Structure 1
Amino acid sequence: MSLVQYSDSESDSDTQTSPPPPAKRIRPNTQHQRPNNPGSSLPPLPTTFYDLYATSTRVSVQDDPSLHGGRKRVIPHVEGNWPTHLYLEWLPSKSELGVLENLIQKSESKVGDERRVIHSLLRSDLGAQLPLHISLSRPVVLRTEQRQFFIDAYTTAVRDSNVSPFDITPGNLHWVSNYEKTRWFLVLRAQKPANDGLNHLLKLSNRSLASFDQPPLYEKAIQTNSGGGRHQQNGTDDYSHCFHISIAWSLTEPSTDDNERVASMDLKDLNDLRVRFDCVKAKIGNNISSIPLPSGIVDQKGIGGL
């Protein structure tokens, strides 16, 4: 959802219809009756508010990397195609944001190549805080006629999954690239949660997208061996080492030394940090759906045991 932009002619016609009402006089002592910090009494914005303004203003109908810090569009814009992404979202608190900003600053000092520019993912160009995420899918594409069928099927799959809300603890820092190796991301590894929720949601997301002929994230395709049989590469469904939260990016590939320096950083400030996930986000085009994880499921393995 984007803010409506009015033309100059529309705004002029509005001002000509009637003069503005006279300003109300305020008594001198009125302001002294306000609390010292009125903002502190306001409730926090609901998380769904950020979904409404998750898409930046389009400034060009063509892919122009100069408008986006050198970034290139991964999925070309084609009429009738809808870029789609499944993920878990985290909006850090003020104190958590300070810890992450400090990590990025320390990482910059660990970069051997002074020409490399590191861009933070914590704030927009205007300084507004941005949500972070753990991906549950690659950037994929759905056709117009597939959108509603997919979101209905995926919503049902998540709600029937028995994956209850869970916490994760950030692990070490590392540099990883996107699939096209056009950008490199400074990421915090996500440690495996108690209910293995990340692996379960990954499998669910890959299975849902596979029914729409979309490629999986992390999982290897089933291969045919020399004897004609079929097996899954690596023989495991545990991709805990792959999940991460990106906090910054660069257009320059880090060296092996850069990775070693970042991986060896002292992360004691993260010891008490716990990230809670209670819903899955599905972004199709500019529309974001928030799908709550089922709660209150208790069995012999504990909450959300699968």
Structure 2
Amino acid sequence: MALVQYSDSESEAEQEAPPRKINKLDQDISRRTAPSTLPPLPAAFHDLYASSIRVSVRDDPSLHGGRKRVIPHIEGNWPTHIYLEWYPSKDELEILREIIVEAENTSHTEESKIHSLLHSDLGAQLPLHLSLSRPVVLQTEQRKPFLDMFRETLQTSDISPFEIQIQSVDWVCNTEKTRWFYVLRAKRPKHDYLNRLLRISNRSLALFGQPLLYEPTLDASEQNGAQRHTHSGPETAKDYTDYFHVSVAWTLEEPSARDRDRMEHGGLQRLNDLTINFDSLKAKIGNHVSSIPLARPSLH
């Protein structure tokens, strides 16, 4: 079973400015005016910095841990990704850190070094993703029509904020089998919202000639059918619950069968009470991230 991953090259460390000399008056003013606690960052803040600074115009795996780019850079092409985003709390991060450390301790070969997806190389917390699309490419003229149509379709659905729990942990490879990911597999949520969101994403992208996630690519006649059903309500379709997952770590080498079995059983014990809440869906086109709120349930 393959999974999609959208890592880019890591950003360069910024050059530090020379320290400013602080006198006693500055310190007194700072103590009187500084708040006791900082307010939380707004959710939209993370979308502004969703992409790292590019340090090379060519695919250079040495810049990002040996990873190879899935989509080459071509003028007029806009890499696109539809996903749900999760910023774990401090307690949740500790649980995830523990299962990654346990996976590292279980691994028996130096080549299968495990890289955490929880923080950047500079220590900043990173968002985790539950993908609802493959890594696809839109043309410049397709960006706005796609986003407008996708936003309208999502907001006219009756999909409201929901939560998921974890049913298992596993190792899965990407499409090219160049990386393996340690993932949390999701249980089927109430109202089957994950499958319904996947159908909206797949049908919207199919109208723009893009490949589907977890489903065969539609031919021309099926794309026409998708257009007729994009705004329709729930329907009977294949259940892809076993495919939905959140990646928390990766390695370049396929884990052995023994390591996989030990990691899967060990990590799951710590995740029984973990609940992930989603109240919006993200559409990343190029470096721009649009956050589309899920509809709130009607009070009537």
Same fold (TM over 0.5): yes
Cα deviation, residue 173, structure 1: 1.2
8 Å contact from structure 1 (residues 82, 284) kept in 2: yes
Instruction: Tell me the CA shift for residue 207 of structure 1.
Output: 0.2
1:145 and 2:144 correspond: no
Equivalent position of 1:215 in the other structure = 211
Structure-2 residue corresponding to 1:278 = 279
1:184–1:249 contact (8 Å) kept in structure 2: yes
Q: 2:117 aligns with which of 121, 130, 154?
A: 121
* Deviation readout 1:84-125 (Å, 9 max, x if unpaired): 000000000111111101110001112232331111100001
* Alpha carbons of structure 1 residues 222 and 51: separation in structure 2 relative to 1, 3 Å: closer
Q: Residues 28 and 157 (structure 1 numbering): CA distance in 2 closer, same or farther, change over 3 Å? A: closer
- 1:17-36 to 2 correspondences below 5 Å: 26=25
Q: CA-to-partner distance for each residue in 1:134-192, whole Å, 9 max, x for gaps?
A: 00000000000000000000000110121111000122211111111111111000111
Alignment of 1:84-95 (within 5 A): 84-95=80-91
Rounded to whole Å, the distance in 2 between the matches of 1:113 and 1:24 is: 54
TM-fit CA distance, 1:195: 1.6
Kept in 1, the 8 Å contact 2:169–2:267? The answer is: no
Q: Per the alignment, do residues 28 and 276 of structure 1 end up closer, same or farther by CA in structure 2, a change over 3 Å counting?
A: closer
Counterpart residue type for residue 93 of structure 1: S
Q: What residue identity is the alignment partner of 2:149? A: A
Check 1:157–1:28 CA distance in 2 against 1; reply closer, same or farther (3 A cut).
closer
CA offset digits 1:261-304 (Å, max 9, x no partner): 222215333222111101000000000000000111479xxxxx
**How many angstroms does 1:258 deviate by?**
2.2
Partner amino acid, structure 2, of 1:246: S
Q: Offset of 1:32 from its aligned partner?
A: 6.5
Secondary structure of 2:130's partner? strand
Q: CA deviation at 1:25?
A: 5.5
Say yes or no: does 1:49 pair with 2:13.
no
Q: Deviations over 1:219-246 (max 9, x none)?
A: 23469xxxxxxxxxxx951000000000
Q: Does 1:254 align with 2:250?
A: no
Q: Is the 8 A contact 2:202 2:213 kept in 1?
A: yes
What is residue 289 of structure 2 aligned with on the other side?
A: 288
d(CA) in 2 for partners of 1:75 and 1:27?
A: 50
Q: Distance in 2 between matches of 1:215 and 1:165?
A: 27
- State the one-letter code of the partner of 1:285: G
Q: Hey, which bits of structure 1, 4+ residues long, moved more than 6 A?
A: none
Greater Cα shift, 176-185 or 286-295: 176-185
C-alpha separation in 1, matches of 2:275 and 2:262: 25
- How far residue 58 of structure 1 moved from its aligned partner, in angstroms, is 0.8
Shift of 1:29: 6.2
The answer as to whether partners of 1:83 and 1:140 remain within 8 angstroms in 2 is yes
Q: Distance in 2 between matches of 1:141 and 1:89?
A: 20
Which of the pair has more CA radius of gyration? Answer: 1
Among residues 165, 169, 190, which one is paired with 1:194 in the alignment?
A: 190
User: CA–CA distance in 2 between the matches of 1:236 and 1:298?
Assistant: 29
Residue 96 (structure 2) pairs with residue 100 (structure 1): yes
Inter-partner Cα distance in structure 2 for 1:288 and 1:202: 18
Match of 2:55 in 1: 59
Q: Where does structure 1 lack aligned partners over 5 or more consecutive residues?
A: 4-10, 12-19, 224-234, 300-306
TM-score, length basis structure 1: 0.81
Unaligned runs of 5+ in 2: 1-10, 12-16, 220-235
Distance 1:29 1:65 in 2: 49
1:163 equivalenced with 2:159 (yes/no): yes
Residue 242 of structure 2 aligns with an amino acid whose one-letter code is H
The change in CA–CA distance for 1:113 and 1:24 in structure 2 (over 3 A counts) is: closer
Cα–Cα, structure 1 residues 113 and 30, in superposed 2: closer, same or farther, change >3 Å? same
RMSD of Structure 2 on Structure 1 (CA): 2.6
Number of equivalenced pairs: 268
The two structures have a TM-score, normalised by structure 2, of: 0.82
Q: CA deviation at 1:34?
A: 7.1
Other-structure match for 1:237: 238
- The one-letter amino acid paired with 2:291 is S
